[in-house]
Structure 1
Amino acid sequence: MSDKPAIYGGKPVCEHLLPLAGAAVDDNDIQAVTEVLRGGRLGCGETVQRFERAVAEYVGARYAVALSSGAAGLHVALMSAAVGHEEEVITSPLTHPATANCILYQGGIHTFADINSATFNINPGAVASKISSRTEALIPVHFAGNPCDLDALHKLARDNNLIVIEDAAHALGGEYDGKKIGALSDLTVFSFSDPQHCYTGEGGVVTTNSEELYEWMMIFRENGLVSNPRKLTRNEGPWRVEMQDRGYNYRMTEMQAALGIAQLARAEEFIERRTAIAEMYNQVLAGHPAVLLPEQNPRGRSTWHYFLLALRLEHIKASRSDIFHALRAENVEVGVHYLPVFLHPYYLWIGHPDVCTLEGSLCPRAEELYQCLLTLPLYPAMTDRDVQDVITAVIRVLNYYML
């Protein structure tokens, strides 16, 4: 094959487009959903309860609440923690906007702490510098499935009486100090939406060891309604249902839960395959002078939700955009995760002084990293040949542009 990139007339490495992500759905998954459809009960019911128990058991938590999405999970977690108007929550800027949106839903104040340039995760030192008398909670993000420094964050939380809500959307099955993520903090939020490695179409789960937090989440998920006779303000009969707080319809369907149960049974298989793919990438790309790869937490087990690389633009005569389009021309779909949350137009428009700065950079390391980030395809259905094709395309493009 010619060394000339496809964007300049060479033959593309991949004959057909290799997607960035893909769900691994098999016949067992389809059968599980079909059985629920034939059973007649489609709304939130016994299958959802079985899914909740399965997730709780998998991560080692006492309780799990299944919801319509990971975003709903973040919102319900923050509601159950009683974080509200004018109260401050610190989180990472390098994440999906849903991580910070839940703070807005509660009328709270979002404050972003910068990242560690080596790991791409939130920097506990930056978090410490942002804590104020109004701070009530921390939402650390296990970015791309790489566990963040929970020990340091938990110490900050203890010292300042803060609640910790882990955004583990990327980290189902991840570990910290040999323990599964999901029972280590006050609340942990998982996503089962596309393109997570365990999949329910759309969906989320929040885990906790606190019975009180669990019971509040169940109320908030169910439109604020209570039907348990022991908790009614007035028990006039089995028909009575009371709205005792403001809630939302965040319920998961039986079909989603059935798919989730089937997928969760393969969670370890999915992580093993993702890890094997990441190792193949690392073996070749870790030593390339034009690439910087994130350091993995030595005390953690990553789920390798994404394979991220940062371009060392000082070593190539091209921009991130050039590399992006050149890889697309090789029929390799790549992405960029993520635009720092505070740079989204809405966050600029709302004009909070911690968000819409007039001078300087709010989180300079996150902003600098964003300018050179790329995400490569990584999902269990990829073959070894697919992985080698991606590596070939990346090396081909980078070497062409090397100074």
Structure 2
Amino acid sequence: MTIPYGRQDISEADIDAVVNVLRSDFLTQGPVVPAFESAVAAHCGAAYAIAVNSATSALHIACLALGVGAGDLVWTTPITFVASANCARYCGAEVDFVDIDAVTYNLSVDRLEEKLIRAEAAGRLPKVVIPVHLCGQPCDMQGIHALSKKYGFRIIEDASHAIGGRYKEEPIGNCRYSDITVFSFHPVKIITTGEGGMAVTNHRQLAIHMARLRSHGITRDPAEMTHAPDGPWYYQQIELGFNYRMTDIQAALGLSQMQRLNEFVAKRHELARTYDELLKDRPVTTPLQHEDGYSGLHLYVIRLKLDAIHATHREVFERLRVSGIGVNLHYIPVYRQPYFEQQGFDPADFPEAEKYYAEAITLPMFPALTHAQQVEVVQRLTTPIGHQTLF
């Protein structure tokens, strides 16, 4: 694509940081991963951070640390990447979805409360709820947290889109309203480690458990062992874990990128304001910035007012792609995926998610996007098809 929907921003300082690790004694399991963890924890105001090889891995070990297993139920939003639901399935749990808010596109607190009332009556409450900060916009975490106290579920914030954002003037990731928060560092995200993720928490035992799970379930701490160590070489695998470690090479890139995190998010807000102005008076709905939050603005999603344009959703999307504009759609409702369809979900149970899917298009958004490129995106969006204008 001439203009991709997202791309990394790599500086010479980033490259130097990676090269320094390549020339060091430790390519993995060295000092840079803990330094990166400390930087993220400090930024968020969280007590602990556990770096892993992807946000999917972080979601998986977060579920396991909270005791999710066979027979349990985990709820999340249908408008998210499949990993937000898959993490529960990896643990043997069942998954259900809560419809989205019509304005923020995040998990609706009203729909959540209604579903919880029905679930309590049926004796089938969720063990964990995973709200997703879609596009970087924080969910109503205060409302979700209040319901967790009433109905007894735990909370994992999927903040894969949201590092650098704020909720109620505090950093997303401080876990004030959750047990664990998860970030993604994929190349199209706000900062990158190439591939990678992180879980942050204020609970020491959750942090210890997740750190052990990311490394085969192995401990070298005598306090966790079944008997005294045989010698200084000794370690024990005390549970079934995984090889989910992040390398020092990746962490070096992430640690360097953290220096520009606020700059990256501020630039995304500048780009969003430009899009807002360019799209003013067009038959599209531009993203809302909720008064309770400061979005990380990983994505800029518009919704087409289809009754006011001369084309279908698909025609607009395809024309942009053919024109070299790397638009995307975040996301196909998870319950529409064949794997989840087999579990009997009815799209009619999620009317707002269905409306969103019928109208949403993600426009290009990344720090190096120029004003001229934004103008081109909007011009292509409104370009004539045949003898008719789109808008």
RMSD: 1.5
**Deviation of the 1:125 alpha carbon:** 1.2
Among residues 329, 353, 365, which one is paired with 1:378 in the alignment?
365
**Deviation of the 1:110 alpha carbon:** 0.7
**Deviation of the 1:260 alpha carbon:** 0.4
Equivalence for 1:156 = 147
1:240 partner SS:
coil
Instruction: Map 1:63-142; keep pairs closer than 5 Å.
Output: 63-131=48-116, 132=119, 133-142=124-133
Aligned mates of 2:348, 2:128 — CA distance in 1: 23
Matched-pair contact (CA < 8 Å) for 2:382–2:390: no
Among residues 22, 34, 43, which one is paired with 1:37 in the alignment?
22
Closer, same or farther: CA 105–150 of 1 in aligned 2, 3 Å: same
Aligned mates of 1:118, 1:312 — CA distance in 2: 14
**Deviation of the 1:397 alpha carbon:** 5.0
Aligned mates of 2:155, 2:305 — CA distance in 1: 34
Aligned mates of 1:149, 1:162 — CA distance in 2: 16
Aligned mates of 1:69, 1:93 — CA distance in 2: 21
CA offsets, 1:248-269, max 9 Å, x none? Answer: 1100001000000001110001
Matched-pair contact (CA < 8 Å) for 1:326–1:397: no
Matched-pair contact (CA < 8 Å) for 1:90–1:130: no
Aligned mates of 2:111, 2:289 — CA distance in 1: 19
The one-letter amino acid paired with 1:361 is: A
**Deviation of the 1:387 alpha carbon:** 1.7
In the alignment, structure 2 segments of 5+ residues that lack a partner are none
Equivalence for 1:400 = 389
Equivalence for 1:308 = 301
**Deviation of the 1:294 alpha carbon:** 3.3
Matched-pair contact (CA < 8 Å) for 1:169–1:189: yes
Aligned mates of 1:329, 1:222 — CA distance in 2: 45
Among residues 279, 285, 291, which one is paired with 2:279 in the alignment?
285
Among residues 353, 367, 381, which one is paired with 1:366 in the alignment?
353
| Residues 1:318 and 2:311 aligned together | yes
Equivalence for 2:165 = 174
1:400 partner SS:
coil
In the alignment, structure 1 segments of 5+ residues that lack a partner are 1-15
Aligned mates of 1:267, 1:188 — CA distance in 2: 18
Aligned mates of 2:12, 2:376 — CA distance in 1: 28
CA offsets, 1:320-350, max 9 Å, x none? Answer: 111112222332221111000010111113x
Aligned mates of 1:292, 1:304 — CA distance in 2: 16
The one-letter amino acid paired with 1:109 is: E
The one-letter amino acid paired with 2:182 is: V
The one-letter amino acid paired with 1:146 is: Q
Matched-pair contact (CA < 8 Å) for 1:95–1:340: yes
Aligned mates of 1:135, 1:330 — CA distance in 2: 45
Which deviates more from structure 2 when the two are superposed, residues 122-131 or residues 272-281?
122-131
| Residues 1:243 and 2:237 aligned together | yes
**Deviation of the 1:52 alpha carbon:** 0.4
| Residues 1:275 and 2:269 aligned together | yes
Matched-pair contact (CA < 8 Å) for 2:303–2:361: yes
The one-letter amino acid paired with 1:291 is: V
Closer, same or farther: CA 381–397 of 1 in aligned 2, 3 Å: farther
Closer, same or farther: CA 253–314 of 1 in aligned 2, 3 Å: same
Equivalence for 1:266 = 260
Equivalence for 2:11 = 26
The one-letter amino acid paired with 2:27 is: L
